Amino acid sequence: MTASRILLIVLDGISDRPCPALGGTTPLAAAKTPVLDKLAQEGCCGIMDTIAPGIRPGSDTAHLALLGYDPYKYYTGRGPLECEGSGIHMEPGMIGFRCNYATISKEGLVIDRRAGRIHDTASLSAAIQEGVDLSKFGVEFIFRSGAGHRAALALKGEGIGHCVTSNDPKKEGVRPLTVNAIKKTPAHEKTAAVCNEFVRQSTKILFEHAMNRERLAQNLSPANIVLMRGAGEMGKYEPFQEKYGLSGSVISAASLITGIGRAVGLPHIEVPGATGSQNSNVAGKISAALNELKTKDFVLLNIKGADESGHDGLAEQKRDFIQKIDPLLEPLLGLKDTIIIICGDHSTPCTIKDHSADPVPLLIRGDGVRMDDVFRYDEYHCAKGGLNRIRGTDLLPIALDLINKSHKFGA
């Protein structure tokens, strides 16, 4: 029998390096994961460089590669994809930024780049959208909240460019940076001036907002400045259905992943309680994925909580989250007519609190898959599997071949 559907589950940031807090092993290897192990035993495993050996992937470039879109060809910056995922329709030529709500002191120093990992910022974003005026530049803007502390900014107008720096100093205890043009041309310099004015006006609005006054009264970090980065110009993407002949959906709480899906024509499926954090409704996301597979050929499901722990350097928390989600994957054991792929998009080692180039563990399970001898799903055991070591752009061609949708090369 040959399967006809593909379920791609990306365990965001799942891969790691040896952690001293876990006796020198990784959170995934330290976790008790009977379901993932069972899927590994019933399939074929390997390790994967989502971009290439030695290249540290962003979540954006990694997911593009996993979907078969060569990031060296298609990637134009993270900002436009964040905008798409935040519900902003990006037309070619529009400039997009990924943003963080952050906290600055009265003296103007950044004291929390994520504003206490604030949630539910819609009222803040609405106040900015209503109160900021960029008309003197002849530029329109759209500002929307994303998941958690994240947001997105889109600019539309004549004579703007995307080659500008960030105002995010990437560390705390210092002042936000001034946005500058990387290329000294009128278009990029205009965008830099627009960004600085947007920050100036929005900061004043945020300092006076009732929600932030209430957070201060509760001894919580106020979201009183917008840090922007990842500027990019919206490009053109070949629609997923035209590229592969497959219908599909994306299930993710992360606006970036949602935006990548929308950019390639994969609709986003809302799941109540999906947050992209430790408290996300993972069971609901699994249920939604199985429901989508009743009518779709392909589903991308992103589960993000482990990545958050990696960025925070919390090895035990990362292990515990993996153990928490493992039993929620049990419905996959009975899934028929489906190639199940489970992988990371990048490693997020707790020891460096950032993405690394370490390859991620990969398993493929379903009808027609040649089983190997791997019996544990972790970085060490998957490295001994039959898939060996592949790149991210290899993944969809392998899956297409397994569902008999690939094309012969040659006669």
Which of 190, 213, 233 is the C-terminal boundary of a domain?
233
* Residue 398 neighbours by CB under 8 Å, 6+ apart: 364, 387, 390
Q: Is residue 276 part of a domain?
A: yes
Q: What is the C-alpha separation between 93 and 180, in angstroms, rounded? A: 20
Pairing of strands 150-157, 95-104: antiparallel
Nearest alpha carbon to residue 154 among 134, 136, 170: 134
The amino acid at residue 344 is G
Q: CATH number for the domain including 280?
A: 3.40.720.10
Q: What is the C-alpha separation between 250 and 301, in angstroms, rounded? A: 6
Provide the residue range defining the domain that includes 290.
5-75+237-402
pLDDT score for 320: 98
* Residue 378 neighbours by CB under 8 Å, 6+ apart: 26, 28, 29, 33, 361
253 plus 397 within the same structural domain = yes
Strand partners, 384: none
* Residue 238 neighbours by CB under 8 Å, 6+ apart: 69, 264
Q: What is the C-alpha separation between 177 and 237, in angstroms, rounded? A: 32
Q: Is residue 407 part of a domain?
A: no
274 plus 299 within the same structural domain = yes
Q: Is residue 380 part of a domain?
A: yes
98 plus 224 within the same structural domain = yes
pLDDT score for 275: 86
pLDDT score for 148: 85
Q: Indicate if the alpha-carbon torsion angle 317, 320, 326, 328 is positive or negative.
A: negative
Q: What share of the chain is helix, strand, coil (3-state, %, to 5)?
A: 35, 20, 45
Q: Is residue 411 part of a domain?
A: no
41 plus 181 within the same structural domain = no
b/e for 347-370, b at 16 or more Cβ within 10 A?
bbbbeeeebbebbbbbbbbbeebe
Q: Is residue 205 part of a domain?
A: yes
258 plus 373 within the same structural domain = yes
pLDDT score for 83: 95
Q: What is the C-alpha separation between 331 and 291, in angstroms, rounded? A: 12
pLDDT score for 277: 84
Q: Report the interhelical angle of 122-131 vs 210-217 (nearest 10°).
A: 140
139 plus 71 within the same structural domain = no
pLDDT score for 375: 97
Which of 190, 205, 233 is the C-terminal boundary of a domain?
233
pLDDT score for 316: 98
| Residue 46 near residue 386 (C-beta atoms within 8 A) | yes
pLDDT score for 292: 98
pLDDT score for 294: 97
223 plus 93 within the same structural domain = yes
| Residue 258 near residue 89 (C-beta atoms within 8 A) | no
317 plus 195 within the same structural domain = no
The amino acid at residue 370 is R
Neighbours of 232 (CB within 10 A): 23
191 plus 210 within the same structural domain = yes
Q: Is residue 410 part of a domain?
A: no
Mean pLDDT per segment of 10 residues, for the chain of length 411 residues? Answer: 96 98 98 98 98 97 97 93 93 94 96 92 97 97 91 96 96 97 96 98 97 96 97 93 97 93 96 90 97 98 96 97 98 97 98 97 97 98 98 98 94 87
Q: Is residue 301 part of a domain?
A: yes
Place of tokens 């991308």: 300
283 plus 354 within the same structural domain = yes
Q: Is residue 306 part of a domain?
A: yes
Quote the pTM value.
Answer: 0.90
Quote the number of domains for the chain.
Answer: 2
Which of 200, 233, 266 is the C-terminal boundary of a domain?
233
9 plus 110 within the same structural domain = no
174 plus 214 within the same structural domain = yes
